[in-house]
Amino acid sequence: MMRSITRFFPLVALLTTLCAAASAAEPPVVRLFNGKDLAGWSHVLADPKVRMEDVWSVRDGVLVCKGEPLGHLRTDAEYTSFKLVVEWRWAPGAAARLGKTPNSGVLMRVNGEPKPIPRSIEAQLRSGDAGDLYGFWGMSLEGDPARRRERKGDAALGDMVGFSKAEAAERPEGEWNTYEITLDGPSVAVLVNGKKVNEAKGATVLPGRIALQSEGGEIHFRRVELTPIVR
């Protein structure tokens, strides 16, 4: 019996060490929005005279974007491969006040010259189009040819390629939605409210910022979290 116990304890110690090492190797979740203020973020707007706080504010733990003028709020830090979770909703009555479909987007791997719509990969937030994917200013994507969209030399988007979502999964205006976007090297997968709605390959791989667009219509964000993917 004593010999069995003697052998048992080193095994427990080994398993404990391995579990601790595995846990330590898991990258921590990064809360990009802390629920209190805009620490860790900067901005780019079409009208440089407009202050960041005139477009984006924090109310009761919610990041509120007024939607005008055109531009984006971007992280100070850069990321390459990650799982990004974003919770958003359109403000009740946003479409009626705007007089058209409200628009925004989650931009990833933002790089290059600062401009209102920067070189980046976008997960669309335009009401009714959540789940569409785009690459702006030459950022590449490959996917289902039947859902492909493309423009060359667009004044606002440069060489653009996009892929519309396979199905709709977003909730009505005023209700909260969840994006789960996995950008792993050249691969992109998009879930809206737990349902996989789009995927693409061949994405340009380089470090860049995460950004939330101001593009028309009041939109709210309450969770913006990122888990790095480390190889």
Q: Pairing relation of β-strands 41-45 and 71-75?
A: antiparallel
Residue 3 lies in a domain: no
Domain boundaries, position 84: 29-228
Name the domain count of the chain: 1
What is the domain-level CATH number for residue 149?
2.60.120.560
Supply the pLDDT for residue 9.
Answer: 47
Torsion (CA) 95, 101, 102, 107 in degrees, nearest 10: 160
CB contact at 8 A, 80 and 227: no
Task: Say if 4 falls within a structural domain.
Answer: no
Q: How many CB atoms lie within 10 A of CB 32?
A: 22
Cβ contacts of residue 21 below 8 Å, gap of 6+? none
Residue 13 falls inside a structural domain: no
Q: Is residue 139 part of a domain?
A: yes
Task: State the amino acid at position 84 in one-letter form.
Answer: L
Q: Which of 138, 126, 137 has its CA nearest to residue 165?
A: 126
Confirm whether 15 is domain-assigned.
no
Distance CA 133, CA 123 (A): 5
Is there a domain that residue 22 lies in? no
Give yes or no for a contact between 50 and 23, defined as CB atoms under 8 angstroms apart: no
> Is 190 within the bounds of a domain?
yes
Three-class SS state of 114:
coil
Domain assignment of residue 65, yes or no: yes
> What is the per-residue pLDDT for 26?
80
DSSP 8-class letter at 205 = -
Q: Which pLDDT score, from 0 to 100, does residue 120 have?
A: 98
Q: How far is CA 114 from the centre of its chain?
A: 18
pLDDT of residue 231: 78
What is the block-wise mean pLDDT of the chain (231 residues), using blocks of 10 residues? 50 49 72 97 96 96 97 98 98 89 97 96 97 98 97 97 97 97 98 98 98 97 97 78
pLDDT score at 6: 52
- Closest among 191, 226, 217 to 75, alpha carbons compared: 226
> CB neighbours of 15 closer than 8 A, spacing ≥ 6?
none
